[in-house]
Amino acid sequence: MEAKVTAHRDYTISKIDDRIYSAFLEHLGRAVYSGIHEPDHPTADKDGMRKDVAQLVRDLNIPFVRYPGGNFVSAYNWEDGVGPADQRPTRLDLAWHTSDNNRVGVHEFAAWCKTVKTNMMLAVNLGSRGLDEARNFLEYVNGPTGSYWGDLRKKHGHAEPFDVKLWCLGNEMDGPWQIGQKTAAEYGRVAYETAKAMRAFDKKLELVVCGSSHSDMKTYPEWERIVLEHTYDSIDHISLHMYFSNQAKNTANFLALNHKLDTYIGTVESTINLVRANKRSKHKVHISFDEWNVWYHSREQDKTILEGNAGWPHAPRLLEDIYNFEDVLQVGCIINTFIRRSNIVHIACIAQLVNVIAPIMTEPGGPAWRQTTYYPYYFASIFGRGTALNLAVKSPGYDADVADNVPYLDAAAVHDEAEGTITFFLINRNGKDSLDVAFSLHGFGDPVVIDHQVIAGHPLDATNTLLNQHTVEPKKGTTAHVVDQSLVVKLPPYSYHMLRVKV
């Protein structure tokens, strides 16, 4: 089968906001405890953080990590996580039916962010709590010494403000599962007043208001409209979440799901524009897609704990999806969608980062390794920075549940003007046939292939596990060539590609 990709130097979507390669870390299962933090581990640093995990995280060059939740944040008392660690209370976590000894809190998280060279995106609790705790938390984190909260932070060992600029106003407040769920109007009011108070402290903060938990919510997209009517000029981003499942074991339908994601983003973009027009506002609100990933492999095994039949375990194995080769293709398609929508999506967070639906897994006392999905995230984060090109893609396609004529070829391209490179991210959704792709590049010099990384040739259910950590890994590609000054590449059935050319 054949496909054609046309690109023009001046036909661009947007300069990509690097923050679309961000991640999320929640106090959930083993994400924090025995994920990033394991004081007894042979690689633990002086703060009890695993150095082997930190290295895998650092390699990803992650711009921001969202913390501490998630559903967890909606009943979280941030004060429990500060002060002498051995005096912190153990609390029951109502979101995940577990307990948390609070050994990690905002100080430990901040130190870890420094170690892994990332920035904090913090969430305030607007579920069980509200404006007052939010402003106190903000003052504790960013306030000057000489004030009550600033002095307390100093007493706890950090005189300098942490200077966190990006804040989420609650989490998934539309969800019936959320502690303190609200109607759109209730949440809109609380979010507005909280934003007002936080801005009174620092008008330069970037604030993220909750959109729908997913696009199948009954209240979507009215939720977005109402919440934005209340908050539009006081916030900067509206948060969306989406998880992808192949419970039905239908690969064609599964790999078409980024079309649903694309429609979701488009609808919320229209809603933002509607409210902006209604308000005669000049202010621009963008999308923070701050939870996305494949999530379904662990649903069955998690039931015992989530239904409350295991007591209140501390850091149990929860949401530990073991990703396969099929998920590599899916994660590649999802990230391509964010690149193609980079005009409106300014933040996106893979959910999550370690152990919990995560690209990195750990064994207590043992190794840390890369899941299959680490690689498409890695390639995008490292090479997907620059300007998104608006490609014209001609590819044969197939009809799926969520869309007709889904192209077998999913493609995105990023132009790095300073380096003089274009990086293509390509997925062949066809499991039977190869795709011969011919590129037509306009306004660039003659292309020279400088790198081609391929993940292909595995059974769809192939995984990387504790015992077999390297089953699914990228290999150097051999099928990209320049013929008569034109770039061509052969994509084998079910394959992921990162193809870089100097132009």
Catalytic sites, residue numbers? 172, 291
Let me know: does 187 contact 227? Beta carbons within 8 Å. Answer: yes
DSSP for 213-269, please give it: SSTT-TTTTHHHHHHHHHHGGG-SEEEEEEEE--TT--HHHHTTTHHHHHHHHHHHH
Single-letter code of the amino acid located at 387: T
* Least distance to ligand AHR, CB of residue 291, Å: 5
Task: Quickly list DSSP for 366-423.
Answer: S-EEE-TTHHHHHHHHHH--SEEE--EEE--EE--SS-SSEESEEEEEEEETTTTEEE
CB of 171 to ligand AHR, least distance (A): 5
Report residue 465: phi and psi, to 5°.
-125, 175
Number of residues binding to ligand AHR, judged by CB under 6 A:
10
Q: Looking at beta carbons only, is 203 or 218 nearer to ligand AHR?
A: 218
How many of the other CB atoms lie within 10 Å of CB of 365? 10
Shortest distance, position 239 Cβ to ligand AHR, whole Å:
9
Is the N-terminal amide bond of 68 cis, ω within 30° of 0? Answer: yes
29 belongs to the binding site for ligand AHR (CB under 6 A): no
Using rule CB under 6 A, residue 291 touches ligand AHR: yes
Query: Which residue of this chain has its Cβ atom nearest to ligand AHR in the complex?
Result: 70
Q: Shortest approach of ligand AHR to residue 98 CB, angstroms?
A: 12
What mask of x and - would describe binding to ligand AHR in positions 331 to 360, judged by CB under 6 A? --------------------xx--------
Shortest Å distance, C-beta 361 to ligand AHR: 16
**What tokens does 37 get?**
């933090």
Nearer to ligand AHR by C-beta: 28 or 480?
A: 28
Greatest alpha-carbon pair distance for the chain in Å reads: 70
Q: Which is nearer to ligand AHR, 209 or 427 (CB)?
A: 209
The pair of three-digit structure tokens given for residue 493, joined into one six-digit string: 């059935």
Contact letters for ligand AHR, residues 171-190 (x by CB under 6 A): xx------------------
- Which x/- pattern, by CB under 6 A, does the window 58-97 give for ligand AHR? -----------xxx--------------------------
Encoded one letter per residue, x for contact with ligand AHR by CB under 6 A and - for no contact, window 410-439 reads: ------------------------------
Dihedral (CA of 46, 52, 56, 59) sign:
positive
321 binds ligand AHR (CB under 6 A): no
Minimal distance, residue 24 CB to ligand AHR, in Å: 7
Amino acid at 167: W
What track of x and - describes contact with ligand AHR for positions 7 through 26 (by CB under 6 A)? -------------------x
Amino acid at 68: P
Binding to ligand AHR in span 226-285, by CB under 6 A: 241
**Site residues (CB under 6 A) for ligand AHR, limited to 154-173:** 171-172
The answer to whether residue 125 forms part of the interface with ligand AHR (CB under 6 A) is: no
Would you say 71 or 271 has its CB closer to ligand AHR?
71
Rounded least distance, CB 31 to ligand AHR, Å: 9
Closer to ligand AHR by CB, 48 or 69: give it.
69
Least separation in angstroms between residue 75's CB and ligand AHR is 12
Looking at the Cβ atoms of 294 and 498, the one nearer to ligand AHR is 294
Q: For residue 146, what are the β-bridge partners?
A: none
Cis peptide before 316 (omega within 30 of 0): no
246/428 with CB nearer ligand AHR: 246
Those residues whose C-beta lies under 8 Å from the C-beta of residue 237, and which sit 6 or more positions away, are: 206, 207, 208, 209, 285, 286, 287, 288, 346, 347
50: DSSP letter: B
What does the block give as tokens for 261?
């994601």
E strand or H helix that includes residue 327: helix 325-340
Give the footprint of ligand AHR on this chain (CB under 6 A).
Answer: 26, 69-71, 171-172, 241, 291, 351-352
